[in-house]
Amino acid sequence: MSSTIFSLDIGTRSVVGTILEEINGNYEVLDLITMEHKERSMIDGQIHNILTVAEVIKNIKEQLEQKHGPLKQVSVAAAGRALLTEEGIFSVDLTKEKIASVEDMNRLELAAVQAAQQTLMQKEKQQEHNDYYCVGYSVLHYLLDDQKIGNLIDQTGTNATIHVIATFLPQVVVESLLSALQHAELEMTALTLEPIAAIHVLVPPSMRKLNIALVDIGAGTSDIAIADNGTITAYGMVPLAGDEVTDALSQEYLVDFPIAEKVKRQLSTEETVELEDILGFSQTFPVSEVCMRIESTIHHIAESIGKEIMRLNHGEAPKAVILVGGGSLTPNLSLMLSQALNLPEMRVGIRGLEALSGVTVSKDLGQSPELVTPIGIAIAAKNAPLYYMTVTVNEQKVRLFELKEMTVGDALIAANFSIEQMYGKPGRGMTITFNGQTLAIPGEIGRPSVIHVNGERANIKQTIKNGDRIEIEAGANGKNAAPTIGTLVDDLAPIQVKINEQTIALKPQIMINGEAVNPDTLVKDRDKVEVTANTSLEQALKQWHGKKDAPSFSLTVDRKMMRVKKWEAAYYLKDVAIRQTYHLQDQDHVVIKTPPLPTIEELALELEMPFAEKAQVLFNGQTVQIEKPRFTVYQNGEIASPSSQIQPNDVIEFVSIANQPIIFSDIFAFTTYELPTNTSGHYQLLRNGNPIQLNEPIFQGDRLEIKF
């Protein structure tokens, strides 16, 4: 079964019309007509004068119709030079938002694409996003804190950046093509892109897994397409091509442009060229000399193409470069390009019609590489045409240029839905001082958006088709940080302890800026928070004191308050004495043991002020205990005996009676001594064998005698 295909390659310098016949998957080129524009109707792939371009198309159509009958439908290509590439960068603060999933990565990539789109709009002075179709993008690199890294998921750092290169097709390019065809009474049946057309016929799918660059060098521009991993990853254009060489010849030899163009074409086929300059002088030059004089121009073209290939291919040279188009025949261009890319010379090659598999071309048409793209357009438009598709995004109709497998993300970009809206911004954080340490408290993480395609949950990488209904709910911003003390401290529950038989709950002490608060109190930015675990025995005793008198021993002595620790209570935990600074644990049981109450006499001894002066002596061979009171003691205003017990908080007053030592005569108060009746009236007082008077002091352990 056979069918006829009519295609047009509408270029900057000329229009090429091709008639192909398909027979069971093979193609035969039946006819090919090239016609140059009469004026500069095309500039860099964009139709600037629709009527004059339509006139050229109509002329080609009529010539072909004379041989092949009426032509009503045609396949065309949007020029690769019309594609616009732009780099986009998007950064995210990792201290506020962590990249936790592939979905997060996809969102950031699309945000970078939108940044590229915004940059492109500013450069091209356009106002609407839908003036461009995004036909593809690839990631140049990821950065973590300004250092390249392979993947950003779950990385820890300060800042993450995604750098992409995106390709856009202006809508006006497609619309102007349709208008020119309409004026020529033709209907567009299929549309492709020139780089796709060339790759489609020269690089089969099995070869597209290799990293290959295809360069279509025409008159005004050099169009670039990069293939890798089975698909076309990037497009680009360099505004340098065959016309640059023609201009260099025109300037070097003072000839007008048509003559220079003729000479340029002879450089690849002749050994000498003859030309006549604007002064009428004719000269013949060796091709080698001519090539040498325009070498700098060729080198400049090669360097420019090489830099763009490296940019589109993530900074690396591809495995190989295929050159097509009339400009690829420029002498030494392929060699200079291999040097610019640091590739072996054999890795950069020119391919013509002989490289087309399954295509038969009449010998009359030649094998020039400039015919690859026109023939490729017909085949690619047949086998890999581009279509429009229409979807709705939140009830808004969006038209997409189906250059590749379209995704939800493509539809969101076309609908001017800000990718940044997909995830809410994190809430505002705060900084506080917690127990002397600076503590940063982040705000709540924003809620991600929810996407549905035809009522079912989806993500931004999900593929879509014509007529799909996309609904997206924008992400919600996170709440500002507003913690309570209870959310900052893991455990604020009180512990339960016992003192004797009373249960006491010990709660932590919470202070904000010096004021006591409860666990439900909100913390504010710059607050100074102190949380103390008040589990000491001292704190427990303060609460226990509320129910019972304090187990301390205080009293007033001679109008002075004093504590006597000797008679205060002692604290025992499992029969081990503890101090009031001891920190209790939950369910501890403290027992208070109180010593017996002291007497007045014991108090006097504790204060080192004996209640009475004492001396034990030996009197006439008998032991005598002498006690001579020094004070009269008042207890709570009443005279007390030495044996009287003292209660806590008593008022004790010691009133001095005398300050004289114990003398010999004091002994008679503590004995029943009587003077003998059978003695004379003379006697002698002895202390330790020595004479003594009645009013002289005696001391502990003295031996006293009375001799007559």
Q: What residues contact 598, with CB distance under 8 A and at least 6 apart?
A: 564, 566, 567, 606, 645, 646
Q: pLDDT digit string (tens) for 476-501?
A: 788 888 888 777 776 667 788 888 87
Region 547-556 average pLDDT: 67
Tokens of 3: 């069918």
- Of the residues 336, 356, 376, which one is the last residue of a structural domain? 356
Whether 312 and 449 map to the same domain: the answer is: no
Task: Report the distance separating Cα 1 and Cα 626, nearest Å.
Answer: 150
Region 139-168 average pLDDT: 83
Q: pLDDT digit string (tens) for 187-203?
A: 887 777 776 777 777 77
Window from 195-204, 526-535, 544-553 with minimum mean pLDDT = 544-553
pLDDT at 282: 87
Query: Which residue has better confidence, 45 or 296?
Result: 296
Whether 451 and 567 map to the same domain: the answer is: no
- Residue 369 burial (CB < 10 Å; 0-12/13-18/19+)? buried
The neighbouring-strand residues paired with 134 are: 168
Q: Which of 12-16, 274-278, 380-384, 474-478 tops mean pLDDT?
A: 274-278
Whether 418 and 509 map to the same domain: the answer is: no
Tokens of 77: 């290509």
The answer to the question of residue 74 being in a domain is no
The answer to the question of residue 143 being in a domain is no
Asked whether the predicted pLDDT for residue 12 surpasses 60, the reply is yes
Q: How many CA atoms lie within 13 A of 186 on its CB side?
A: 29
Region 26-50 average pLDDT: 78
Region 100-105 average pLDDT: 76
The answer to the question of residue 118 being in a domain is no
The answer to the question of residue 279 being in a domain is yes
Whether 321 and 436 map to the same domain: the answer is: no
Whether 213 and 254 map to the same domain: the answer is: yes
- Of the residues 356, 375, 396, which one is the last residue of a structural domain? 356
Asked whether the predicted pLDDT for residue 101 surpasses 90, the reply is no
Number of domains in the chain: 4
Query: Which residue has better confidence, 315 or 130?
Result: 315
Whether 438 and 579 map to the same domain: the answer is: no
Whether 439 and 490 map to the same domain: the answer is: no
**Nearest CA-CA partner of 285 in 293, 274, 299:** 274
The answer to the question of residue 694 being in a domain is yes
- Of the residues 425, 451, 473, which one is the last residue of a structural domain? 473
The answer to the question of residue 121 being in a domain is no
* Maximum Cα–Cα distance across the chain: 189
The answer to the question of residue 686 being in a domain is yes
Region 507-530 average pLDDT: 83
CATH at residue 257: 3.30.420.40
Q: What is the 3-state secondary structure (H, E, C) of 256-296?
A: CHHHHHHHHHHCCCCCEEEEECCCCCEEEEEHHHHHHHCHH
pLDDT at 386: 63
pLDDT band at 232 (very low <50, low <70, confident <90, very high): confident
CATH at residue 496: 2.170.130
Whether 212 and 349 map to the same domain: the answer is: yes
The answer to the question of residue 103 being in a domain is no
pLDDT at 365: 66
- Yes or no: say if 264 and 246 are a contact pair by the CB < 8 Å rule: yes
Whether 544 and 678 map to the same domain: the answer is: no
**662 secondary structure, DSSP code:** P
- Residue 189 burial (CB < 10 Å; 0-12/13-18/19+)? middle
Whether 211 and 337 map to the same domain: the answer is: yes
Whether 552 and 576 map to the same domain: the answer is: yes
Whether 453 and 500 map to the same domain: the answer is: no
Range of the domain at 536: 485-593
Q: pLDDT digit string (tens) for 339-383?
A: 999 999 999 998 877 777 677 777 666 666 777 778 888 787 666
